[in-house]
């Protein structure tokens, strides 16, 4: 089974995002970037499948600027076999990403695509569902466990008040949630080996995909600063302020 794993280069989750002075977006100049955390989980799952003998080839894909190759190399150092880099400096919307991934799937012929349920920079959470619709494949979303038996794939996800279990037939799409696994750290020998693994260079034009945006960002602003709290003398004063000042009771 060939497994395809799309990954995205995003602002590192430990870095506090700052809005540009013109409010056109988030300032990404001279800040640490890394692989989207949900995508790290997808890479780990693919590598685990290969180690278990259920995946014969694993391919990591990233769509983004030249520096997205660093993100691909991270996936290769974690154990993926080879990479595909679709270079573009545009900030693509989920539909454009899904169309490119569809073209890659048609060219590569994977039986399983594993990707993060959302990217932490825009939080759209739409690419997996759009890709499944374009490919007419079943999807198991926000998986916190998955098990493959032949062509049957069982995916468990958290829902309000419990767990939902679905069974899919491959080829299929799976989007990953945080509890699926714990991504490994790449060892120094594997980092060195990753430098020799192949990365195919592509562009959206190679796949004949129109990436023109359909949405326009009007303004990006930081959330309002929280006001300092106050101390109350007793429970009666607390109830009074919650009722008469905050208006929550």
- For 216-239, what is each residue's pLDDT tens digit? 889 998 888 888 888 989 999 999
Q: What is the CA radius of gyration of the chain?
A: 21
pLDDT above 90: residue 245: no
Q: What is the Cα–Cα distance from 9 to 93, expressed in whole angstroms?
A: 14
Tens digits of per-residue pLDDT, 122-151?
899 999 999 999 999 999 999 999 999 989
What pLDDT was estimated at residue 172?
96
Mean predicted confidence (pLDDT) in 170-195: 94
Q: How far apart are CA 222 and CA 216, in angstroms?
A: 18
Report the alpha-carbon distance of residue 78 to residue 141 in Å, rounded.
Answer: 23
**Average pLDDT of the chain?**
93
pLDDT average, residue stretch 193-217: 93
Q: The domain spanning residue 112 has which CATH number?
A: 3.40.50.620
3-state secondary structure 200-224: EEECHHHHCCCCCCCCCCCCCCCCC
If one counts the domains in the chain, the total is 1
pTM of the model: 0.86
| Joined tokens for residue 65 | 């600027």
pLDDT of residue 130: 97
pLDDT at 197: 96
The answer to whether residue 21 scores a pLDDT higher than 90 is: no
Taking 90 as the threshold, does the pLDDT of residue 65 lie above it?
Answer: yes
Domain of residue 103, residue span: 2-246
Q: SS3 of 152, please? A: strand
């Amino acid at each position: 089974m060939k497994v395809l794993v799309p990954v995205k280069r995003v602002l590192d989750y430990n870095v506090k995002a700052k809005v540009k002075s013109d409010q056109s977006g988030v300032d990404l100049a001279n800040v640490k970037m890394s692989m989207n955390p949900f995508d790290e989980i997808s890479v780990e799952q693919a590598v685990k499948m290969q180690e278990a003998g259920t995946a014969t080839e694993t391919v990591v894909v990233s769509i983004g600027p030249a520096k997205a190759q660093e993100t691909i190399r991270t996936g290769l150092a974690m154990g993926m076999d080879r990479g595909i880099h679709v270079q573009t400096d545009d900030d693509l919307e989920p539909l454009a990403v899904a169309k490119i991934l569809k073209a890659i799937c048609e060219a590569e012929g994977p039986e399983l695509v594993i990707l993060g349920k959302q990217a932490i920079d825009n939080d759209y959470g739409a690419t997996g569902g759009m890709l499944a619709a374009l490919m007419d494949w079943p999807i198991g979303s926000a998986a916190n466990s998955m098990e493959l038996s032949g062509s049957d794939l069982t995916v468990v996800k958290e829902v309000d008040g419990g767990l939902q279990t679905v069974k899919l037939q491959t080829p299929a799409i799976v989007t990953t949630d945080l509890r699926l696994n714990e991504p490994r750290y790449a060892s120094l020998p594997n980092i060195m080996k990753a430098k020799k693994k192949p990365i195919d260079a592509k562009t959206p034009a190679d796949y004949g995909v129109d990436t023109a945006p359909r949405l326009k960002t009007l303004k990006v602003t930081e959330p309002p600063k929280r006001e300092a709290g106050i101390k109350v003398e007793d429970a009666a004063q607390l109830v009074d302020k919650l009722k008469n000042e905050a208006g929550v009771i």
